[in-house]
Amino acid sequence: MFGRLEVDKLDSAGRYGSDVAPAGANAARWRARPARRLLNAQNVRSRRAWPVWIRLSLLAYLIVNIGRIHEVFPPLAAVPIGDLVALSLIAALVLAGRYRRLPGVVRTQGARLTIAFLAIGALSIPFALWPGGAFGTFNGMLKSWLLCFMLPLAVTTPEQLRTVLRIFALSAGLLLLAYVGGVPGVADPRALSFDRNEVAMFAVMGVPFSIAWGAERGRWRWIGTGLSILLVTGVIVTGSRGGFLALAAVGLAFLLRSRVLNLRKKLVILVVAAALVTAVGSGEYWSKISAIFTDPTEDYNFQEREGRIEIWKRGLSYATAHPVTGVGIGNFPVAEGYTLEDVGHGVKWSAAHSAYVLVFAELGYPGILVFLLIIVGLARTASGSGVGRVGRPGPASVSSARILERQADAFALALLGYLVSAIFLSVAYGAGPAFMIGTAITMSMLRGAEMRRAPRPLPVGRVRRAGAPST
């Protein structure tokens, strides 16, 4: 009979802690391991420190770029608040020494693809139908996409990432309240630059993060539960059909894919959500939704010149006519105006109403290729950042690994919400995709940190059968 296995002197992190070097090991290096462990512990404490100025600047950046607080409250409209919060966050990162992490960020695949996509957008400016408009669009995109790099610089632990995702959900809730007129003193929702489809997209993206918040233990979990109810019902209140389809896709994926909650709890959440959306939606709204499945070709999107189908067809023709550079970033409406004017119709500078058609038409084949590669990278990060992929964490990192698993699960659902919404929205250059890319880069770096902190295998010769003589 085989006896039980014994392991001598394991430390609290699951590593071998004996001062006696095993046979064949360098004795001096083995005795130095406690000192290295102390240094590693100091590095972990330093990594977990989150300066308050970084937290506040990141909070302001997300509320401005996602919640659009400068548009919600008219007095802030006269202040370049977007530039101010971006400069404040950059200054906070520099003063905290986080710029030293930039080489590690740039080495990630997501960051390299992001740089390539920005370069393609910049190179399209000289060849654009309207170079001035292309420059303005690229300038706005650059300000939003700085988040792709600032987020992984600012966030260094799963706990910090959890806070950022909660702020995103709160910002989406603020945006939704502003749109429906639920914020006292807010500007007229009709005067805001964002439309109902974009509001619905951010609401759908925020739902998984708010559900994950409400599912965790803690005294603030009720905020996550209430925010989930607000965002789910808000998608219906906006009247966005694309938002409904995205919400339905997220709900189905939540039931089939999510591993954070058990099946019974997921079914309860979905039943409550279905009851809420049924009660909130009007009869006219549900008639429009049912028409999507019963007789979609009767919709104006199929029949009219300004409908999505005809716009998408013209967008594909712009890409084939300009395969390398496209019509230029931000120039899809210009191409629409030229095309309709040439055929003798009234001029309407229509948007692409699809992120994929937009990128293909404006940036050509190189742009759509890199954009799709970015999406593939986001999907891989969502499926590979859980604790099951990290390895076997030691006792000190089990909590962080579980938090990362929970947030990766919610990120995958939010990504699905964005990808479905992007079929019907021109949301390729804004804060939505920038936030998803920045979060994916952050998750990949956190996953690497978890793998490095995982306990190393025991030295050969230190595991022996009970009762066996020592050598």
- Please report whether residue 129 resides in a domain: yes
% of the chain beyond a pLDDT of 90: 44
Q: Mean of the pLDDT values across residues 43-70?
A: 78
pLDDT at 438: 95
- Taking the model in full, what pTM does it have? 0.81
pLDDT at 382: 85
Residue type, 124: S
Higher-pLDDT residue of 211 and 32 is 211
Res 12 pLDDT > 60: no
Q: How high does pLDDT run on average in the chain?
A: 79
Res 369 pLDDT > 90: yes
Res 265 pLDDT > 70: yes
Q: Which has the minimum average pLDDT: 174-178, 309-313, 405-409, 453-457?
A: 453-457
Higher-pLDDT residue of 208 and 3 is 208
Q: Which residue has the tokens 């489809």?
A: 197
pLDDT at 434: 95
Provide Rg for the chain, Cα atoms. 26
pLDDT at 337: 81
- Please report whether residue 302 resides in a domain: yes
- Please report whether residue 164 resides in a domain: yes
Query: How many domains does one find in the chain?
Result: 1
- Please list, in sequence order, all residues whose beta carbon lies within 8 angstroms of the beta carbon of residue 47, skipping any fewer than 6 positions away: 156, 157, 449
Burial bucket for residue 29 (CB in 10 Å: 0-12, 13-18, 19+):
exposed
pLDDT at 395: 41
- Please report whether residue 182 resides in a domain: yes
pLDDT at 413: 94
- Please report whether residue 19 resides in a domain: no
- In this structure, what are the phi and psi dihedrals at residue 19, rounded to the nearest 5 degrees? -85, -5
Query: What domain range is 438 assigned to?
Result: 101-456
Q: Mean of the pLDDT values across residues 334-343?
A: 74
HSE value, Cβ hemisphere, 13 Å, CA-based, for 242: 26
Q: If you average pLDDT over each of 3-7, 230-234, 292-296, 302-306, which comes out highest?
A: 230-234
Strand partners, 5: 465
CA distance 332 to 351: 7
- Please report whether residue 77 resides in a domain: no
Res 334 pLDDT > 50: yes
Tens digit of each residue's pLDDT (9 = 90 or more) over 98-138: 999 999 999 999 999 999 999 999 999 999 999 999 999 99
Tens digit of each residue's pLDDT (9 = 90 or more) over 138-155: 999 998 899 999 999 999
- Please list, in sequence order, all residues whose beta carbon lies within 8 angstroms of the beta carbon of residue 13, skipping any fewer than 6 positions away: 37, 394, 395, 396, 455
pLDDT at 13: 40
- 361 near 319, Cβ under 8 Å? yes
- Please report whether residue 183 resides in a domain: yes
Report the C-alpha dihedral over residues 166, 172, 173, 175, rounded to 10 degrees: 150
Q: State the pLDDT confidence band at 414, using cuts at 50, 70 and 90.
A: very high
Task: For residue 92, give Cα distances in angstroms to 17, 98, 252, 371, 421.
Answer: 39, 9, 41, 30, 34
Res 273 pLDDT > 60: yes
- Please report whether residue 193 resides in a domain: yes
Q: Which has the minimum average pLDDT: 64-68, 180-184, 273-277?
A: 180-184
Buried-exposed string 14-25: b where 16+ CB fall within 10 A, e elsewhere: bebeeeeebeee
Q: If you average pLDDT over each of 4-13, 207-216, 333-342, which comes out highest?
A: 207-216
Task: For residue 446, give Cα distances in angstroms to 123, 379, 429.
Answer: 33, 16, 26
Q: Mean of the pLDDT values across residues 269-277?
A: 90
Q: If you average pLDDT over each of 4-8, 283-287, 400-404, 421-425, which comes out highest?
A: 421-425
Q: Mean of the pLDDT values across residues 209-224?
A: 87
Higher-pLDDT residue of 179 and 124 is 124
pLDDT at 179: 82
